[in-house]
Amino acid sequence: MPTSHIPVITIDGPTASGKGTVAHKVAEKLGFHLLDSGALYRLTALQALRRSTPLNDEHALAKLAEHLHIHFSGDAIFLSNENVTDAIRAEEVGNTASKIAVLPPLRHALYGLQLGFRKAPGLVADGRDMGTVIFPNAQLKVFLTASAEARAERRYKQLIGKGISANMDDLLMDLRARDDRDMHRAIAPLVPAEGAHVLDTSNMTVETAVEQVLGWYAAIGK
């Protein structure tokens, strides 16, 4: 099957909108592959922090990204055989990823890597520019959103549940700052893709959001 014929569902949205969880469950139900594009930027950020790579050295960061040895296994994410699933979810890593994601050389370095995830029988790609830049011809495009307050509360519960101390006011401030960076960056700003279904999950369960996305996909071609 030509790559262009392999179905793609893109699920974009801001931090803590629930897109990662929804994407994972949709992919699982359809038997599709999953691309967590945000993890690629977080992996680059984690490696940069560990190696003390200057965050303004865009070419060094791009080179770092090109040599990442990444492996996804179910819910787990591996970097050179090390399980870094929890490590890349740290707030420092997330904030760093948001800052370096604006750099053109880094985005270019990760572009081809992301396209390579499109394999039969299909792909669910989650991120911030999946429907606008990486897979603009996707069969279904979804933009998940939620209020900053709802997203901060979700992130707070996630962190506390993992035994990580967190402050709600700080999380809310960080989310708003990250939203502002993502929406106003010059390259691939965070916006709903043309033709995307916008889904506000502020007061919605994960199961309801998943069923809505599956319903939209089932309706394609009918």
Tens-place pLDDT, residues 32-88: 999 999 899 999 999 999 999 999 999 999 999 998 888 887 778 999 999 999 999
Is residue 202 marked as binding? no
Closest listed residue to residue 19, CA positions, set 204, 215, 172: 204
Is residue 53 marked as binding? no
What's the average pLDDT block by block, 10 residues per block, for the chain (222 residues)? 87 92 95 93 96 95 91 84 92 89 92 92 95 96 95 89 88 90 84 96 95 97 62
Q: How far apart are CA 14 and CA 85, in angstroms?
A: 20
Q: How far apart are CA 182 and CA 120, in angstroms?
A: 31
pTM for the structure as a whole: 0.87
Is residue 105 marked as binding? no
Strands 123-127 and 33-36: parallel
Is residue 10 marked as binding? no
Is residue 17 marked as binding? yes
* Cα→Cα distances 222→1, 123, 217, 218, Å: 22, 21, 10, 8
Is residue 73 marked as binding? no
Is residue 14 marked as binding? yes
Domain boundaries, the chain: 3-209
How confident is the model at residue 1, as a pLDDT? 62
Is residue 96 marked as binding? no
Into which CATH architecture does domain 3-209 fall? 3-Layer(aba) Sandwich (3.40)
How confident is the model at residue 193, as a pLDDT? 95
How confident is the model at residue 83, as a pLDDT? 96
Is residue 16 marked as binding? yes
